[in-house]
Amino acid sequence: MAKVKTSFFCQNCGASYPKWVGQCTSCKEWNTVVEEVVQRPDKKGWSSAPTARGTAKDASIPRRIQEVENQQYQRIAMPDEELNRVLGGGLVPGSLVLIGGEPGVGKSTLLLQMALQLPLKTLYISGEESAQQIKMRADRMGITSEDCYLLAETRTQSIFTHAEKLQPDLVIIDSIQTIHTDYIDSAAGSISQIRESTAELIKYAKETATPVLLVGHITKEGSIAGPKLLEHMVDAVLQFEGDRHYIYRILRSLKNRFGSTSELGIYEMRSNGMLPVKNPSELLLSSNSQSLSGSAVAATVEGMRPLLVEVQALVSTAVYGTPQRSATGFNAKRLNMLLAILEKKAGFKLGAKDVFLNLTGGIRIEDPALDLAVVAAILSSNVDTPLAKNQCFAAEIGLAGEVRPVQRLDQRISEAAKLGFERIFVARSPRSEIKSEAIEVVQITKLEEVLPFLFQKRASEN
């Protein structure tokens, strides 16, 4: 192979060095000098020759914005509706999608399942598992395909050679941290290797109009391993969330150049693969017919999808002196804020009590519409009295104790009525009148106004 010219650059200030040094002499930062390719020989083959689906990109020339024609992407429809939703309607040809998640969350299972179900020629490249291990997982899922090809390879030059012969419609790399190129001498998984390998894959994807899916590792802090530049280079970043002790998994879109980043997909982890959940509200609500204290239902919206989530709270006297505040699936700082509002504005003495909060199903939601349901669950547990099961909540609470409206209220009300709820508490909106024939809509402006409604039905029953 022809000689490749490389140099070493500081990632902090950009200073260049002929060899690696531990400390940059310019900015005095440590471990910021990495190797980069400065000049490589021209490659023949896939990078310049036309393929079955497209040709090399035309030479770029300056044009007026009015002269640029709008191009409609012919998306590749996935066999999974949840993945289609997160991608923005399907996979765009020539795009590079990075999927991250903790070990064992189901990244490889979802991609292999998709590769076996797609009626396209798919090249599944694994740098961590052998072809026999992948075949065993496919047999466990009970899916067979004539168009899925397996390749256990980590060298990019070999990968492109096989891809040029096979000309697949889709390429899956599992994972990018195991791929390396001959142009960089550092080990696979290093910053230089990840960046250079990703750059070569981007060039291949754009010039052949072949979509490429990458699997990325996760650090202990929860971010995708490798340089932050990796997320800027790709077209979309998807992240799997979920506790391995629960069967539900959430696929979120953190970046998407071809769609919205507010969408999410919900899956159920089974022995035969990842099953999409079409109606997650029924799974996130308790099926227990007996009413329990400390439980309230919130009407939330994640992306374009309305969800009804059960909020559970436990309030007890602090035994060890210092009260504990713990939240699972909910922002702990926001929980402390709501407790301060209850103490200051509503007069509830919760400062000497332990408060534990949990969103059922292992889901994590940042929607501020959870506030009113969290307050209702805390008050229900504090007096040990169940709430009526036919009511739900959808409103934000401000620092002054006022109840503030939330977005897309019509979808929340419609979802609550569809699941059989008879009453929903929302904030009073001065701009428009909120009406619904299928469910009673109770509009309130202050936190004090909702308190008489919480235990009204229970008191009349007793």
- Cα-based angle 197, 119, 80 (whole degrees, multiple of 5): 80
In the numeric block, which tokens belong to residue 213? 């899916």
CA dihedral sign, ordered 338, 423, 313, 283: negative
Q: Tally the residues of the chain.
A: 462
The reply, when asked if residue 107 is annotated as ligand binding, is yes
Neighbouring residues of 165: CB distance < 8 A, sequence distance ≥ 6: none
Phi, psi of 128 (to 5 degrees): -115, -30
The radius of gyration of the chain from alpha carbons, rounded to an integer in Å, stands at: 27
Angle (deg, nearest 10), helices 332-345 and 447-454: 90
The reply, when asked if residue 45 is annotated as ligand binding, is no
Phi, psi of 192 (to 5 degrees): -65, -45
Looking at CATH, the fold of the domain delimited by 76-276 is given as Rossmann fold (3.40.50)
- Partner residues linked to 196 by β-bridges: none
Name the region of 251 (left: φ>0; alpha: ψ -120 to 50; beta: rest): beta
Q: What is the CATH number of domain 283-461?
A: 3.30.230.10
- DSSP state string for 214-242: EEE-B-TTSSBSS-THHHHHSSEEEEEE-
Cβ contact 100:216 at 8 Å: yes
Quote the CA–CA distance of 200 and 345 in Å, as a whole number: 59
- Nearest of 181, 216, 229 to residue 201 by alpha carbon: 181
Quote the CA–CA distance of 210 and 370 in Å, as a whole number: 42
Q: What is the reported pLDDT for 46?
A: 43
In this structure, the number of other CB atoms found within 10 A of the CB of residue 193 comes to 25
- Partner residues linked to 427 by β-bridges: 444
The reply, when asked if residue 105 is annotated as ligand binding, is yes
The reply, when asked if residue 297 is annotated as ligand binding, is no
The reply, when asked if residue 103 is annotated as ligand binding, is yes
In the numeric block, which tokens belong to residue 180? 């390396």
Chain centroid offset of residue 424 CA: 29
Q: What is the reported pLDDT for 460?
A: 44
* 76-276 and 283-461 have identical folds: no
- Partner residues linked to 353 by β-bridges: 317
Q: What is the reported pLDDT for 444?
A: 92
Q: What is the reported pLDDT for 226?
A: 63
Cβ contact 97:91 at 8 Å: yes
pTM, 2 dp: 0.75
Chain centroid offset of residue 304 CA: 14
| Domain assignments of the chain as residue spans, ordered by start | 1-40, 76-276, 283-461
CA–CA distances in Å: residue 459 to residues 65, 152, 291, 451, 462: 67, 67, 14, 13, 5
Cα-Cα-Cα-Cα dihedral of 110, 112, 118, 122, to 10°?
Answer: 140
Cβ contact 405:301 at 8 Å: no
Own/partner long-range contacts of 186-192 (Cβ < 8 Å, ≥24 apart)? 186/34, 186/35, 188/127, 188/154, 189/225, 189/226, 190/34, 191/11, 191/34, 191/226, 191/227, 192/34, 192/35, 192/36
In the numeric block, which tokens belong to residue 112? 């292999």
CA dihedral sign, ordered 390, 396, 399, 402: negative
Q: What is the DSSP letter of 407?
A: S
Q: What is the reported pLDDT for 220?
A: 67
Per-residue pLDDT tens listing for the chain (462 residues): 556 777 888 877 778 888 889 998 888 889 888 887 766 655 433 443 334 444 444 456 888 988 888 777 788 998 888 899 899 889 999 999 999 888 888 899 999 999 999 999 999 999 989 999 999 999 998 888 899 999 999 999 999 999 999 999 999 999 898 999 888 877 788 778 888 899 999 999 999 999 999 998 887 666 776 667 788 889 999 988 876 667 788 898 989 998 888 788 888 888 888 888 888 887 777 666 567 889 999 999 887 788 899 999 999 988 777 889 999 989 999 999 999 999 988 888 888 899 999 998 778 888 999 999 999 999 999 999 999 888 999 999 999 999 999 988 988 999 899 888 999 999 987 765 677 788 999 999 999 888 888 866 544 444
